[in-house]
A and B are shown apart, each in its own frame.
Chain A
Amino acid sequence: MERFSANKRNAWMGWTLLLLAIFVGTPALVFGAAAYEGKVLTIVVGYKPGGGYDRYARLAAKYLPKHLPGNPAVVVQNMPGANSIISANHLYGVAKPDGLTIGTFNNGLATAQLTKVAGVQYDLTKFAWIGSLASDAVILTIRSDLPYKTVDDMRKAKEIVIGTTGPGSSTHDFPSILKEFVGFNFKLVPGYSSSADVMLAIERKEVDGRAGSYDSIKPFIDRGLVRPLIRSRTASPGIETLPVDEDLAKDAKGKAIMVVASASTKIYRPYVAPPGTPADVIKLLRDAFAAMAKDKEFLAEAKKTKLSIDFTPAEESLKVVREVLNQPPEMAQEIGKYIKFGE
């Protein structure tokens, strides 16, 4: 009973706040001093509401005010399209570098820049980086009722059917690189409308396995539907001991491509400010993100809502980006063959 009244009170407070927000929300002013007092900080998200990028941003919007001087209001704006290239271009060329706009976009945008995808206007190295809130392990899983328990079992297999959502997603690129550079007999079946759809195809035995983000496959591993077999270099608790794709590569070229493909998984939820944002403001933002990532309440809520947190500071994030972008042109071309960037 007590619990309910607390909930109810919260709910009512929420409603009141919403109404208040409608009528007295403060307009964003031009940023002058270093403090955020009375300002509104906007987080631009490159995807529609409800997805992973959006949920991280909304969680951050809730806890950031606490860690910024002057406790500004933080709001989330969704700017979907072209797998977040639209939002990245906006942050790069349109948004004012006044510290009142920051943004988050696809972690694979570095690959898009490297392979010179049409429409890319941004240069990732020129953004004022804040850091990344999470990392992500990409894994390959196979249906548990199949006899493949190790990498060697898989090598011997005549054919393993992997369902994917199409070139440009880790569900496709990860197994396609493994097929090419490790030599598995994979048959890739692209065209599923979402990774959830691939999961259903596994359930009806239309396909034998799928690759993708560990976070999203974990419930199905726990339920015993699939078993994980290979991971990319970024590990997550629980799958540290899985074989890593780079160690399986037949040659140096394959290994190099795998490195580039998985580099950006270290910065799974990147946050940047527009290029030219003043250094003192950037410092405030970086400190706030770092402090938030250690905030116990923040971590507890993240855990409850199944958003894993693994903070990577700005310097390190930028290093990851440079590692991807500093490939020689001929290598870039090779990579473009196996890693597509797209919706």
Chain B
Amino acid sequence: MNRVLSLRFLFALAVALVGAYALYASLEWPFRTALFPRLIGIPLLALSLLEMLLSLVSAEKEREGHAVDFEMTTDVAPPLARRRTLAILSWIVGFLAFILVFGFPIAVPLFVFLYLKLVGKEGWVLTLSLTLVSWLTMEGLFNRLLHLPFPEGWIFALWS
């Protein structure tokens, strides 16, 4: 049961679904449009089903399956790690929400301020000066100098 719900199994399942969708979508395309998505979709579906199966039946050998890539830390106790992961992921999604609601120029210093104060529990001097730095970079460099088109936050749309 545990293995069925393991992340590895679910991820392989998700990738298999992507492969299946690619094949399905290619059904209504002209041949040349569809050829490559099919050439990719078929092995993708097959290999991810294999990966799914493998994560079901066999426990991994000790030395197998190490990717040439970094691995998440294992120094932190799992419950604490889970709590912290959840916290940081909500902060990241929260940043996006800030950007949507307030627009970039306000969201950035606001986020920096809140994160430093709530998570870092930093002192006022450090918090405020770093918030100012982030505001200056945002406003001076990206807004004034580069004139990036930042969409207005939703609350300003409510205003008018």
Physical contact A–B (CB less than 8 Å): yes
Q: Which residues of B contact A44 (CB under 8 A)?
A: 149
Indicate if the CB atoms of B145 and A22 lie closer than 8 Å: yes
**Residue A161 CB within 8 A of the other chain:** no
Instruction: Mark each residue of chain B from 123 to 149: 1 if its CB lies under 8 Å from any CB of chain A, else 0.
Output: 000000000000000001100110111
Interchain CB contact (< 8 A) of A79 among B140, B141, B144, B149: B149
Q: Which residues of B contact A75 (CB under 8 A)?
A: 147
Q: Which residues of B contact A21 (CB under 8 A)?
A: 144-145
Indicate if the CB atoms of B144 and A22 lie closer than 8 Å: yes
SS class, residues of chain B in contact with chain A: helix
Task: Give Cα distance in the complex from A42 to B150, angstroms.
Answer: 13
Interchain CB contact (< 8 A) of B140 among A22, A42, A77, A78: A22
Task: Give Cα distance in the complex from A23 to B139, angstroms.
Answer: 9
13 CB < 8 A contacts A-B: A18-B145, A21-B144, A22-B141, A23-B140, A25-B144, A42-B147, A44-B149, A75-B147, A77-B147, A77-B148, A77-B149, A78-B149, A79-B149
**Residue A76 CB within 8 A of the other chain:** yes
| Nearest B residue to A190, CB-CB | B32
Task: Give Cα distance in the complex from A198 to B145, angstroms.
Answer: 36
| Nearest A residue to B141, CB-CB | A22
A317 smallest CB distance to B (angstroms)? 24
Q: Which residues of A contact B140 (CB under 8 A)?
A: 22-23
Instruction: Mark each residue of chain A from 75 to 103: 1 if its CB lies under 8 Å from any CB of chain B, else 0.
Output: 11111000000000000000000000000
A155 smallest CB distance to B (angstroms)? 28
Task: Give Cα distance in the complex from A18 to B144, angstroms.
Answer: 10
| Known contacts A22-B140, A23-B140, A76 near B145 by CB under 8 Å | no
Q: Which residues of A contact B141 (CB under 8 A)?
A: 22
Task: Give Cα distance in the complex from A22 to B140, angstroms.
Answer: 5
- The A1-57 residues at the B interface (CB cut-off 8 A) are 18, 21-23, 25, 42, 44
Task: Give Cα distance in the complex from A184 to B102, angstroms.
Answer: 58
Task: Give Cα distance in the complex from A75 to B142, angstroms.
Answer: 13
Task: Give Cα distance in the complex from A22 to B147, angstroms.
Answer: 10
